[in-house]
Structure 1
């Protein structure tokens, strides 16, 4: 029966069911993973936009004056800003500190109108009428009040209308209350006799597609002293998203390459096994074009079926995995929509890339002469000549040059482009040189292998050399597995370690006690320090809130932040350098301040404080620089509480650092202080690290699962490819058995080759993975952490699985009938 080219191609799937299944499965998994990562990246971007909305609400700008400017937003200014653009939404907000009678201290107070901007900014839903208030959950718990209950503020009764969550759940947050703007104006008028203040600042929402920079310029034209804050993404989150996108892009490329290599390797086995059939087809008149079409049609079917199934798997896993993760981790994953447009585009790109790689086996199947097919399959020598090494070296040098340019030039776009080109050239260069130097290395090691391990490992290693081209595909697949392992684990480990380092910088000691109440807290730092010091085995130091002073340099007043601290106690805790008693009136500055203003230890400087009555800086004291530190809270100046000149009405207790030898017992006794100081909040480094770790796994659980699935899928492809390679050499093993190699020797021969492939692949993969990770480190300017434990586990799993899979395989091949094996490929 005469069959068409397409009919012959379809017949391939009947005669090679397992290879067909593995190839389709490889495409399915890779396309599914890449679509999932692309959707994950898009959702990560959406989550950052949601984070901005959570922080700022629907506002675009926040306009007002700093407190030290002694200026207010009045009706005239409000009218001028409102008239700048049509459809401009403006919400007036009054900020002050009012006294809650039950606490005998001032609390941060927000006066708002019942409009959508204010509600989105402060996350409440109820309308506030006169003599009603909204407060955060932490303050409600401290006051032990619920909705509909009454509390006294400035000797006036207010009914609790709503209790809202604390705005910052990740750490200590100042308590606050929300009142109607009318009530706040009345109280401020009675207390401060302020008549004309309409707002402390304005929340502004421009119309869609408005030119915000132009609007900001117009607002500055009204008053250049206005402070204008723009609602924008958190830099840390944006940095994480940038790293995530780089990782996903690289991971996508690696997955596509690995998938293509697996399919190509499978087809190399098919072409090796079918060499006689291809030779016969060429002998009876089949053209090279027809063979090319046949193999390409087979590859296209695999590509199409795998791509469509991968799309469906990504959609179903996205839909049901989200519910499963919520149940497993007991946290809401949020609205993560499956973007079908993005998924379809990514699927098509993947299929096009894989199809391009499929041209390789299609071309290999269309050798011009029948005898050449036989020669290529049984080739016993492989020479690279001089062009391949030269080209590889040229690419290595070019990649290094591009990376140097990426480090030196300015601009994110050009740096990223040069960096990616450099990385790609380096990887291609290594891969071009790898087979050449692999052959040279193995050849030079043959005498050592024979001397140390015997004849069987020697023959097994030597047998790798004649067909090094085909074996290189297998080694490259293992290499890419290790590249994904190193690069993926480094990405996640870096994020985890960065979070941990940030927390350790925030927690100078194991226990930190913070003041929950804002300006006007009645806590005396000296009394609190004495109370905490009564706890056994405790060293405590207290810090004030950050305030402002100025360094006098000639006619200039350079304003800086300063913090009052217990220098002697902090010295005992090892938080500051030793300070002499004579230097207790001196200051400690950061390295940044010392370099910027040319300060050195022992320098005498004049400090000034701002006078609101005279509206200017007034020199008040002359001090010396006692020490210079890398970083201090507030990033400015430390001075001791004994500097009474700088203890004014705005200075209050902010936090206490506590060192102890018994954390649990200290926490128990600190809890007793809360009844006397309800405005205190106690937090520990250990608890924060645990919460950070939990948040890390919650936030990245889907991504961690993706990395694990990628590794398992590629590992499956690796062992399938190795198994196909071993099965294609059964005739060679039969010949070895005729030369009196025992069954155990055959098993040792196979295991030696497999271990050799894995070892070389692991070494080259880890090397390229490290190169890739540290090259991207140059672009992102962040420290890279390699998870060597995870890399080691993957390598152990590879070697262990090789023993489990290929020892029985070697024993089974060693038992095969020699006569049958010798004529296996002559059908």
Structure 2
């Protein structure tokens, strides 16, 4: 059977090109997702500040609630500190030398009175300089009131040993004497300042706790054994960079999550495309299979032949696609770096594991698709074989129809979710609902397209002459072929439109609620944050801290535990005059350390009322049990949790406010205040709110969706070219009975316009239903937010792709003489 299959593939190479391309591209995307996921666990950047140590001990950033499975966890947004007592515990390990490190934001003020631009800068205790190692280039170790700068920072500040430099650490700048200049091998990603042990501990503001512990002279296994049960992370090798750089740690978490969700979509779309392509390939060979049945081939032999052929093609395409996935993953990494999701120096981890997994998924998807496509040609009886070969079957199987209509109903039901669940979850459900609708319409496509054709075909026949009559006759008799061409175009339009406008609608809803909810006259922001002391120095009005942070929650559904990171904010009790949370019950005037306000939707979901205790985890992974003092409606602007500013600030590494909201104070007085804090600025109203994270998420979604749409576009062109090229004998017969070449071209142009028109209508409907419901749920209006040009561009792109693919393949098919083409085997 393998020999026969291989001979068939070689003899019908052109017939298998479509399936080959679909499997090749699908495997490449899945392999790229696998590489990104593996990089989320093993990738990173070269270690710099911890280059001289064997092991780094940091706080455990993984939040996994009791009873959760291995995949139910979240990565804490902030690096937690660890007890200083662990230094002695580690030092007890034979041969180990433990060095505690304090790390805190420290900004050097330049000669112009403004913070030095460039690399982020951090302060450390001088003892931790050995971890890099930093060595003194000039001067000596710092004492109280002194600082050691790294060589690059000293040059940028224009200071030398014995000079003075102003440093800002969570307060107004303080002047220090430069005791020395240090340097380490290579150029670091961060600038470093070193203080004496006493000063560093005071500036860090964490009594009896340290940021990390570097270990020299011991392996990770012994250190882990010594710290068992202390809830810390022991890193060695390449993992040390994640302990050193917060952006690397977050990047690894983002890549793992993104690759999982994006990979799921990619696998689903790949299976869908491969299945439709193989079904079209098998359908075009129905005469061949009918002949095999007529000469005695059993149904099992026909199924085995199709299965082995598919395996041969999918293995070759899968191997090449897996290798191509390396290039795709590098391209995605470059795109993610450009939009700020991945550091420029973050290196991917490439191993055979994701490549082998992608190959298995590609071959498995192809075999499942082949099994589905082989059922019909293998089930017809030998007596019916030749007749079945002459006329295409028009009916759709009852099981397929039942599944299709069930998916359509499920998709329509899922579109209502944003009416009850807002935010990013509601937008994601809109995309999922559209995808389910597309799959349902693909399964019921012949019926849906057939119904549309019965309405449109008579108009074509009467209005477009001979070409219109021929086109109408073709689409009436071959609705399944037309549906096969319409479906991928519909997928491209619907998927592109719903992904883009779901994000723009969510962004508009957040902005709308922000403008309505933040009623302050002025907003003070800074480059690295606003020192908490600024609030108390505002005169002539009232002020409140605003701390943007995250919390991690866990909810139990049946036997499973779902862990989720949620946006949160910290406010002072005085915020009631400057923000409008849409309070439903309780009062934010009662917001004190140890209390929390919940969004009304989340409180209802968790069955919590004012006075109840709610459990969650702070941004640094520390567990919290706080009393609920209020519930509110404006969750898009403030997230599901509003904490006291003190609690929110205490669990961030910066220890500063994200902004200060001010009402009633004079702008001139505020300018005078902020002039004492280099880097602070005053703006009016909500315009100062940071939209960077949402913009990055939006661009991230666009990149991911763009890759899938690129694959869909290739499959669309692939399908249209295959279905048109398979009609060479039909074109030849038309020309032999007197139809002109131009009439055939016009007939195909008419069919192409009908294909594109139906795809545009169905794709628009598939996107419109969930988007309208989403817009109503988020903004109260049925019109999704966003520029209309993107929708028109999606229609134009799909139309151009469809028309060009059909036109080019038609003209190529018409090159041969009719008398030669009519005798060409299928």
**What is the distance in 1 between the residues matched to 2:724 and 2:7?**
24
Aligned equivalent of 1:181, options 191, 194, 197: 197
Aligned equivalent of 2:745, options 744, 747, 757: 747
Match of 2:8 in 1: 12
Secondary structure of the structure 1 residue equivalent to 2:444: helix
Conserved? CA contact 1:254–1:480, under 8 Å: no
**What is the distance in 2 between the residues matched to 1:135 and 1:588?**
44
Conserved? CA contact 1:403–1:422, under 8 Å: yes
Match of 1:314 in 2: 325
Match of 1:461 in 2: 472
The yes-or-no answer on 1:360 pairing with 2:372 is yes
The yes-or-no answer on 1:130 pairing with 2:143 is yes
**What is the distance in 2 between the residues matched to 1:524 and 1:138?**
35
**What is the distance in 2 between the residues matched to 1:105 and 1:801?**
53
Closer, same or farther: CA 349–777 of 1 in aligned 2, 3 Å = farther
Match of 2:266 in 1: 251
Conserved? CA contact 1:304–1:351, under 8 Å: yes
Match of 1:616 in 2: none
Shift of 1:432: 3.3
Secondary structure of the structure 2 residue equivalent to 1:133: strand
The yes-or-no answer on 1:349 pairing with 2:361 is yes
Aligned equivalent of 1:375, options 387, 402, 420: 387
| Equivalences for residues 115-154 of structure 1 within 5 A | 115=128, 128-130=141-143, 132-134=146-148, 144-145=158-159, 149-151=163-165
The yes-or-no answer on 1:336 pairing with 2:348 is yes
| Equivalences for residues 219-368 of structure 1 within 5 A | 242=257, 245-269=260-284, 271-272=285-286, 275=287, 277-315=288-326, 318=329, 332-368=344-380
Conserved? CA contact 2:322–2:359, under 8 Å: yes
**What is the distance in 1 between the residues matched to 2:265 and 2:326?**
22
The yes-or-no answer on 1:722 pairing with 2:717 is no
Shift of 1:110: 6.5
Shift of 1:464: 1.7
Shift of 1:351: 1.4
**What is the distance in 1 between the residues matched to 2:415 and 2:698?**
35
Closer, same or farther: CA 322–562 of 1 in aligned 2, 3 Å = closer
Closer, same or farther: CA 377–263 of 1 in aligned 2, 3 Å = same
Closer, same or farther: CA 242–462 of 1 in aligned 2, 3 Å = farther
Closer, same or farther: CA 262–494 of 1 in aligned 2, 3 Å = farther
| Equivalences for residues 517-596 of structure 1 within 5 A | 518=531, 561=572, 588=577, 590-592=579-581, 595-596=584-585
| Equivalences for residues 467-546 of structure 1 within 5 A | 467-486=478-497, 489=500, 514=526, 518=531
Conserved? CA contact 2:314–2:362, under 8 Å: no
Q: How big is each residue's C-alpha offset from its partner over 1:193-234, in whole Å with a ceiling of 9 and x where there is no partner? A: xxxx99364447796489999869xxxxxxxxxxxxxx9999
Shift of 1:293: 2.7
**What is the distance in 1 between the residues matched to 2:300 and 2:441?**
33
Conserved? CA contact 1:490–1:785, under 8 Å: yes
Match of 2:239 in 1: none
Closer, same or farther: CA 305–128 of 1 in aligned 2, 3 Å = farther
Q: How big is each residue's C-alpha offset from its partner over 1:303-361, in whole Å with a ceiling of 9 and x where there is no partner? A: 11111111222235556886899899997241211143233223212211221111234
**What is the distance in 2 between the residues matched to 1:523 and 1:589?**
16
Q: How big is each residue's C-alpha offset from its partner over 1:727-746, in whole Å with a ceiling of 9 and x where there is no partner? A: 33334334444665433221
Conserved? CA contact 1:508–1:657, under 8 Å: yes
Shift of 1:152: 8.6
**What is the distance in 2 between the residues matched to 1:721 and 1:198?**
63
Q: How big is each residue's C-alpha offset from its partner over 1:800-822, in whole Å with a ceiling of 9 and x where there is no partner? A: 24444544655666676444444
Match of 1:796 in 2: 796
Shift of 1:596: 4.6
**What is the distance in 2 between the residues matched to 1:253 and 1:501?**
35
Shift of 1:301: 0.6
Q: How high is the TM-score relative to the length of structure 2?
A: 0.61
**What is the distance in 1 between the residues matched to 2:250 and 2:410?**
33
Could you tell which deviates more after superposition, 37-46 or 140-149?
Answer: 140-149
Conserved? CA contact 2:31–2:325, under 8 Å: yes
Conserved? CA contact 2:438–2:491, under 8 Å: no
Conserved? CA contact 1:95–1:200, under 8 Å: no
Secondary structure of the structure 2 residue equivalent to 1:352: helix
Q: How big is each residue's C-alpha offset from its partner over 1:538-584, in whole Å with a ceiling of 9 and x where there is no partner? A: xxx9967679xxxxxxxxxxx971679xxxxxxxxxxxxxxxxxxxx
**What is the distance in 2 between the residues matched to 1:289 and 1:544?**
75
Secondary structure of the structure 1 residue equivalent to 2:477: coil
Shift of 1:27: 1.6
Q: How big is each residue's C-alpha offset from its partner over 1:161-193, in whole Å with a ceiling of 9 and x where there is no partner? A: 35999x999xxxxx99641124568999xxxxx
Match of 2:207 in 1: 199
Conserved? CA contact 1:593–1:636, under 8 Å: no
Aligned equivalent of 1:23, options 8, 11, 19: 19
Conserved? CA contact 2:578–2:662, under 8 Å: no
Conserved? CA contact 2:293–2:385, under 8 Å: no
Structure 2 residues not aligned, in runs of 5+:
51-55, 62-82, 116-120, 168-173, 214-219, 233-245, 548-569, 594-632, 646-655
Could you tell which deviates more after superposition, 365-374 or 250-259?
Answer: 365-374
Asked which structure has the greater CA Rg, the reply is: 1
Match of 1:70 in 2: none
| Equivalences for residues 413-428 of structure 1 within 5 A | 428=439
Could you tell which deviates more after superposition, 317-326 or 713-722?
Answer: 317-326
Shift of 1:256: 2.6
Conserved? CA contact 2:291–2:386, under 8 Å: no
Shift of 1:447: 3.0
**What is the distance in 2 between the residues matched to 1:245 and 1:775?**
27
| Equivalences for residues 585-734 of structure 1 within 5 A | 588=577, 590-592=579-581, 595-598=584-587, 679-681=678-680, 696=696, 700=700, 708=706, 710-734=708-732
Shift of 1:588: 1.2
Closer, same or farther: CA 502–303 of 1 in aligned 2, 3 Å = farther
Shift of 1:23: 2.9
Secondary structure of the structure 2 residue equivalent to 1:336: coil
In angstroms, what is the RMSD of aligned CA positions? 6.8
Aligned equivalent of 1:431, options 420, 442, 447: 442
Could you tell which deviates more after superposition, 30-39 or 711-720?
Answer: 711-720
Match of 1:759 in 2: 757
Conserved? CA contact 2:165–2:178, under 8 Å: yes
Shift of 1:11: 2.4
**What is the distance in 1 between the residues matched to 2:189 and 2:581?**
29
Q: How high is the TM-score relative to the length of structure 1?
A: 0.61
Shift of 1:409: 11
Shift of 1:31: 0.5
Secondary structure of the structure 2 residue equivalent to 1:590: coil
Shift of 1:105: 14
Q: How big is each residue's C-alpha offset from its partner over 1:63-84, in whole Å with a ceiling of 9 and x where there is no partner? A: xxxxxxxxxxxxxx97699789
**What is the distance in 2 between the residues matched to 1:40 and 1:96?**
31
Shift of 1:435: 2.1
**What is the distance in 1 between the residues matched to 2:189 and 2:512?**
20
**What is the distance in 1 between the residues matched to 2:258 and 2:57?**
27
Closer, same or farther: CA 501–31 of 1 in aligned 2, 3 Å = farther
